[in-house]
Amino acid sequence: MRSAPESFWRIIRLAATVALISVSSASEYEYLSWKSDMYTGGRSYGKPPQCVDIPEDLRLCHNVGYNQMLLPNLLEHETMAEVKQQASSWVPLVHKNCHPGTQLLLCSLFAPVCLERPIYPCRWLCEAVRDGCIPIMEAFGFPWPEMLTCDKFPQDEVCIAMTQPNSTEATTATGFSPVCPPCDNEMKTDAMLEHMCASEFAFKTKIKEVTRENMDRKVTLQKRKKMLKEGNLKKKDMKTLVLYLKNGADCPCQQLDNLGNQYLIMGRKVDKQYLLTGIHKWDKSSKEFKKAIKKLKTYKCPAFENVFK
């Protein structure tokens, strides 16, 4: 994961006055104790939060700009094992660069900085990340989760923020790629495994036909398929399987323009539709591709269903 520049993590907004405090200096604060006077919907803790080191295998927030975090965190995760299991599901979204504040928003909750009282993310930051990332999440069949309902975060109190881009910068600041999210064809093992983890099934096949259907793209496959990950697919489903590229009618997908190649196709069932969640050219000359296929059977995926609900 790319580390954000240090200035990116200069935060804390108080009422109408913006006072910037460097997060990287947070380790200089001595943690005492706190009680949240804002978030009242959670359970009571058996012990007060403590400052603990952010472990290296907490990929979402390691090297985030500070070294220690509060535990329990602001999402009521009481153990580091729970934090790591839940946070791992969000790493792929950060990699998609749907908004520059995604990691800041998530880490302010999963790995809150050690201060004398809990500081929640600003409502506008949550809304900006939500609006930037929902199209990505919907492409993979995931809704914006209830735990990140933006209305519960503060608007005019002390809160975690980042510099708001002006209107001329807003379109370029998101880093959003115009390529359909499942069509990101970067041949990197981690990227392919992340697509695989967001999918219920995967197989090797050719594409027969691609047509537009409302705002989606309908992908009809050849009958012959080599199954790599079955999921809940049954043999009768395989014969007539049609996938949909959600909201993908107008975004570029180079793979769907070339129907002559063999592809690694990934998907998942959402409601009554089968969504295309990943497509990579079947390229055995690529070391990264071969490594991904080899890891496929033993790779332990994050439990997305426990988080995105």
Q: Which residue has the tokens 């988080």?
A: 307
- Collapsing DSSP to helix, strand or coil, 231 comes out as coil
Q: What is the pTM of this model?
A: 0.71
Residue 53, number of CB atoms within 10 A of its CB:
12
Domain definitions of the chain by residue range: 7-173, 181-306
Q: Closest by alpha carbon to 124, among 143, 93, 101?
A: 101
Q: Which has more pLDDT, 41 or 128?
A: 128
Query: Phi and psi of 141, rounded to 5°?
Result: 85, 20
Check residue 52 and give its pLDDT: 94
Interhelix angle for 189-197 vs 287-295, to 10°? 40
**Is the torsion defined by CA of 131, 137, 142, 147 positive or negative?**
negative
- Collapsing DSSP to helix, strand or coil, 218 comes out as strand
The tens digit of pLDDT for each residue in 62-109 reads 888 889 999 999 998 999 999 998 898 898 888 888 999 999 999 999
Is the pLDDT at 241 greater than 50, yes or no?
yes
Q: Please state the rounded mean pLDDT for residues 108-118.
A: 91
Whether domain 181-306 has CATH 2.40.50.120: the reply is: yes
Q: What is the mean pLDDT of the chain?
A: 78
Q: Please state the rounded mean pLDDT for residues 263-276.
A: 91
Check residue 164 and give its pLDDT: 55
Is the pLDDT at 35 greater than 60, yes or no?
no
The tens digit of pLDDT for each residue in 186-232 reads 678 887 888 788 888 999 999 999 999 999 999 999 988 999 888 88
DSSP state letters, 240-276: T-EEEETT-SSS--GGGG-TTSEEEEEEEEETTEEEE
Instruction: Measure the CA–CA gap between 68 and 51, rounded to whole angstroms.
Output: 6
Q: Which has more pLDDT, 32 or 251?
A: 251
Is the pLDDT at 49 greater than 50, yes or no?
yes
How much of the chain, in percent, has pLDDT values that exceed 70? 77
The number of residues in the chain equals 309
Is the pLDDT at 281 greater than 50, yes or no?
yes
7-173 architecture in CATH?
A: Orthogonal Bundle (1.10)
Give 280-287 contacts, CB < 8 A, sequence gap 24+.
280/185, 280/187, 280/192, 280/195, 280/255, 281/185, 281/255, 282/204, 283/187, 286/187
- Collapsing DSSP to helix, strand or coil, 10 comes out as strand
Question: Using 50, 70 and 90 to split pLDDT, how confident is the model at 262?
Answer: very high
Question: Using 50, 70 and 90 to split pLDDT, how confident is the model at 60?
Answer: very high
Distance between first and last Cα of the chain:
25
